[in-house]
Amino acid sequence: GQNIDQPTEMTATEGAIVQINCTYQTSGFNGLFWYQQHAGEAPTFLSYNVLDGLEEKGRFSSFLSRSKGYSYLLLKELQMKDSASYLCASEAFSGGYNKLIFGAGTRLAVHP
């Protein structure tokens, strides 16, 4: 089966650091994606982890522990424009294809 859990909402202050956690139970797991989605828009790619450890890309970092079924997205030096939904998605090989299964998303509100 496939199940992905992440917090529904989070708030943070401009300039601060925020960590968004994601746990997953995925059959045929291949990797873990993080996407950013602003209201009414399509998701945009942030990161992809396939091996355990931390991947850093500018203000955004993502961590994966395959043994624990756990990932987090770390956002540093928060800006107002970072207010968006952050989607955790696991890639699973199922039915002959690699598919992305999305979590419900975490709505992040950044305030001054």
Partner 1 sequence: GAVVSQHPSWVICKSGTSVKIECRSLDFQATTMFWYRQFPKQSLMLMATSNEGSKATYEQGVEKDKFLINHASLTLSTLTVTSAHPEDSSFYICSARTAANTEAFFGQGTRLTVV
Q: Which is nearer to partner 1, 52 or 77 (by Cβ)?
A: 52
Q: Which residues bind partner 1 (CB under 8 A)?
A: 31, 33, 40-45, 48, 50, 87, 95-105, 107
**What does the DSSP assignment read for 15-47?**
T--EEEEEEEEETTEEEEEEEEE-TTS--EEEE
- CB of residue 110 vs partner 1: minimum separation in angstroms? 18
Q: What's the chain's length in residues?
A: 112
> Closest Cα partner for 19 from 61, 53, 47, 56?
61
Q: Which is nearer to partner 1, 30 or 65 (by Cβ)?
A: 30
DSSP three-state, residue 81:
helix
Q: What DSSP character marks residue 4?
A: E
- CB of residue 99 vs partner 1: minimum separation in angstroms? 6
Q: Which is nearer to partner 1, 38 or 111 (by Cβ)?
A: 38
- CB of residue 49 vs partner 1: minimum separation in angstroms? 10
